[in-house]
Structure 1
């Protein structure tokens, strides 16, 4: 009887370990191939995304490159292929996570504005695509967590994608730029917080197609006050439930 009991106990422990290993492998596959969680560390994409938002990025949206598998790097390094496999072109207006050119260890998140061959310029705060002004309409004020208010505008791209942008200053560095011509297999990215975003107008430059990580799809969690999701005691005052499960255009 003792031997039978020990056998059952051992079998139960083995099954538990097996289930845990399977769950971890499934989570690794999901994170590597399907969805990657991403947190917003700054205000460069306000008002669309604010600091403390947590979102899911779909890895399959544009196919896969060597930057699509960061969780495998400790074991096998970046995969030894160039370009993308199962490649699909992004759509103008997508909110995209990508690796910064020249600093491929750093993730950035911006909105796709310019496709290969496009001519991009900002004149007096107005975005021009191929020498045509992108429609821009006043949309009231955005109220930040500190209570400050900022003028916001609705921009509508040629394919009909609309989103809100912020204008912190009428004469900032990024309000008047040279004309950018997007090279083949590259993209031009801009933050929605136009006067507080290091993007393709500045040191980010044109983003190679290979550097795209995925498309931002949905905010699944959001917490303010520079708090952490692990600080459960902050939840009653800092959670932003109205932002939970907000889909991104």
Structure 2
């Protein structure tokens, strides 16, 4: 949530400035010496800042550099992630970044093929209202990779990805039951993970069919719900600068408590 991050930064800075001014300037002016008189009450603004600044600073540091919670609002990552899942995201997997601007300040790692990554949506154009919104997709293509997707079959650098059909079922897609295949996909270098493919796309092809070469400094991402995902097939490449972190596990789902603790495959 962009607004929450902005408010957290503003409140942390405001309370920190008030605390610092009181410690190094105002306190001396009030009493003419470094320590407070024991029987005199601090101004409420100073007292509030003193109480909240350490808490806000710790939350900001943890959320910015360690881990951050995100909520899954759509079904684009079904079956790996369900609508209503709250996931915890590792913020240092792809380097330490400043809040709000997302500028990388310490390079610690890069996405691996198969990672489920959270990122700021680059937008289909500059007027896209979704530009900057947090998205979650699976990393399919790394810089330099040639990616092909046709008739439900994914190829990486000319080699078809191995699939195992686990189950044919009627999947719920926004309240509509659609015949689908639950498959296990084995991306090169990554543990197998489940995906969902519409039976109709297997027979007739889909608008998401694509052939691309991933440029330097970019990644190609797709949703695990292959026929119900607005991903790189439709809006292009993901810039490295937009990365937020790697999804680790589900920490809460108020509609299905059994999801708690589920690792993101």
TM-score range, shorter chain: 0.7 to 0.9
**Would you say how many aligned residue pairs link Structure 1 and Structure 2?**
215
CA distance in 2, matches of 1:45, 1:199: 11
**What residue is the counterpart of 1:234 in the other structure?**
none
| Deviations 1:35-68, CA, capped at 9 Å, x for gaps | 1111011100001111111011111110034xx5
CA distance in 2, matches of 1:16, 1:183: 50
TM-score (norm 2): 0.72
- How far residue 17 of structure 1 moved from its aligned partner, in angstroms, is 7.1
CA distance in 2, matches of 1:128, 1:182: 13
2:209 matched to 1:189?
Answer: no
Check whether the contact 2:208–2:233 (CA below 8 A) recurs between aligned residues: no
Check whether the contact 2:113–2:190 (CA below 8 A) recurs between aligned residues: no
**What residue is the counterpart of 1:245 in the other structure?**
261
Equivalent residue in structure 2 for 1:215, among 240, 246, 263: 246
Quickly say closer, same or farther: Cα 1:44–1:36, change in 2 above 3 A: same
Quickly say closer, same or farther: Cα 1:121–1:19, change in 2 above 3 A: same
Check whether the contact 1:174–1:194 (CA below 8 A) recurs between aligned residues: no
**What residue is the counterpart of 1:129 in the other structure?**
156
2:77 matched to 1:39?
Answer: no
| Deviations 1:58-103, CA, capped at 9 Å, x for gaps | 11110034xx513xxxxxxx37x6x663241111100001112246
- How far residue 150 of structure 1 moved from its aligned partner, in angstroms, is 3.4
Check whether the contact 2:88–2:248 (CA below 8 A) recurs between aligned residues: yes
- How far residue 133 of structure 1 moved from its aligned partner, in angstroms, is 0.5
- How far residue 214 of structure 1 moved from its aligned partner, in angstroms, is 0.5
Equivalent residue in structure 2 for 1:165, among 187, 195, 199: 195
Higher Rg: 2
Check whether the contact 2:120–2:132 (CA below 8 A) recurs between aligned residues: yes
Equivalent residue in structure 1 for 2:112, among 86, 91, 110: 91
2:203 matched to 1:176?
Answer: no
CA distance in 1, matches of 2:112, 2:197: 24
> What are the equivalent positions in structure 2 for 1:8-157 lying under 5 Å apart?
18-65=50-97, 68-70=98-100, 78=101, 85-102=106-123, 104-141=131-168, 144=172, 148=177, 150-157=180-187
CA distance in 2, matches of 1:33, 1:187: 22
TM-score (norm 1): 0.76
- How far residue 201 of structure 1 moved from its aligned partner, in angstroms, is 0.7
CA distance in 1, matches of 2:159, 2:145: 11
Which blocks of at least 5 consecutive residues in structure 2 are unaligned? 1-37
Check whether the contact 1:122–1:174 (CA below 8 A) recurs between aligned residues: no
CA distance in 1, matches of 2:95, 2:219: 16
CA distance in 2, matches of 1:159, 1:55: 23
Which blocks of at least 5 consecutive residues in structure 1 are unaligned? 1-6, 71-77, 224-238
- How far residue 172 of structure 1 moved from its aligned partner, in angstroms, is 4.8
Greater RCO (Cα-Cα under 8 Å, separation 6 or more) = 1
